[in-house]
A = this chain, B = another copy of it.
Amino acid sequence: MGGGEGKVTARKISGDARAEGAGQGGAKSVSAKDVAALAGVSRAAVSRTFTPGASVSAETRRKVLEAADALGYQVNHLARGLTRQQTGIVALIVAKLATPYRSAMVQALTGKLQAAGKVAMIINTDQEEATVELALRQALSYRADAAVILSGMPDRSIADLCHRNGQRLVLINRDDSLPGSIQLRVNDAQAGRMALLAFLRAGCRRLAVATSCDDTPSLLARERSFLEEARTLGLDVQCERFGASGYDSGLALGERLLVRPERPDAVFCTTDLIACGVMDAARQRFGLSIPADLSVIGFDDIPQAGWEAYQLTTFTQPIEETASAAVDWIARGENGDVPCRVDLTATMRWRRSVRARQAEAAPAG
């Protein structure tokens, strides 16, 4: 399964002797018992030394710490998790992790989780389908205190299972709300409307939206709100939908849209990646110039949107805020039978892909 082109050459390195320490194979690690023995105290004493707020005398503590250090002792969080009611593990369930937006979110989440004394376990759902359920079961197996769902949507029964087992759920931009979970949402719908208005103010009249076939709640909300606002204003919008929401789809979408007789002069892309593709198609394949011939607005504000070659006007995802809200809720650990919802806002980031406001253009002929 791992094949590919890079040639692999393995060889043993002779040198370097073996580590001084313990023998062969899966070495047993040092336990509290060992430390207790060396320090001349009880196992309980060493446990207390490593439990913030437990009562140990300074002297005992010193002896324990010394012995622990000498032995290289680390408290075993697995065993601790078995005893206490929580493990400190939080599962991040995610597909297509290498995408700019996703990886930024995962970076923020792992960093903040760490700062809060938790640790992230990542469960990759790229593989087979219908795996959100499997992922959640795996999280359950490791007794994760919580699971953060970045991709896919668990159905009710598995969510209930999590809830029954005390595993809390945070749903990022998913639409259902589930018992014992928190739902983090961004203002996708508002963004769609703002994009439309921005185009109109710029004097654009041949409107289009480019989106993918991934029907995530966010993408749908962006698309629909743009369309609805247009309908309200009695405007026509050409809508093209294709593939996954990546750069390549953007390229294809750009081609399809720009080849039309009624060539759009503005396109709202539900994703920055799509927008970059659309821009490249416009420039390289149609010789168009942006924003003079075509205005583009994206969503996400991935790093590439700010690159000189794009300078894309877009909506910046509140990644830090989202991650903070998730981690705070997890760390707070309230009983959470009542579903909770937090609304975050993606704010518009003006760059140079929308032409400057200009007088109402005469209807293009």
Interface residues of A (CB under 8 A from B): 1-22, 24-30, 72, 74-79, 81-82, 85-87, 89, 96-100, 102-104, 106-107, 110-112, 114-115, 119-124, 126-127, 137-138, 140-143, 160-161, 163-166, 177, 179-180, 247, 251, 276, 279-281, 283-284, 303-304, 307-310, 318, 320-325, 327-328, 333, 335, 337-347
Chain B minimum-CB-distance residue to A141: B77
Which partner residue on chain B sits nearest A347 by CB separation? B5
Closest to A7 in B: B345
> Assuming the A-B contacts A10-B342, A98-B100, A343-B9, are A2 and B320 also in contact, with contact meaning beta carbons closer than 8 angstroms in the complex?
yes
By the criterion CB–CB under 8 Å, are A141 and B75 in contact? yes
Asked whether B16 lies within 8 Å of A179 as measured between CB atoms, the reply is yes
Determine if B164 and A10 form an interchain contact, defined as CB atoms under 8 angstroms apart.
no
Instruction: Decide: B103 and A323 in contact? CB cutoff 8 A.
Output: no
A308 contacts across to B, CB distance below 8 A: 251, 280-281, 283-284
Q: How far is the CB of A50 from chain B (nearest CB, A)?
A: 10
In order of increasing CB-CB distance, the 7 nearest A-B pairs are A2-B324, A6-B318, A103-B103, A27-B166, A21-B164, A280-B308, A29-B165
Contact of B338 with A6 in the complex, beta carbons under 8 Å: no
Q: Which residues of B contact A309 (CB under 8 A)?
A: 276, 279-280, 283-284, 309-310
Residues of B within 8 A of A164 (CB): 19, 21-22, 27, 29, 72
* Chain B min CB distance to A173 (Å): 13
Whole-angstrom distance between the alpha carbons of A299 and B280 in the complex?
22
A240, chain B: closest CB distance, angstroms: 18
Bound-state CA distance A134–B111 (Å) is: 14
Bound CA span A1–B16, Å: 45
A58 to chain B, nearest CB (A): 24
* With A76-B143, A142-B78 as contacts: A8 and B338 at CB distance below 8 Å: no
CB-CB under 8 A from A280, the residues of chain B are: 307-309
Give the chain B neighbours of A327 by CB distance below 8 A.
2
Contact with A26, one of B74, B85, B338 (Cβ below 8 angstroms): B85
Report yes or no: A24 in contact with B347, Cβ–Cβ below 8 A.
no
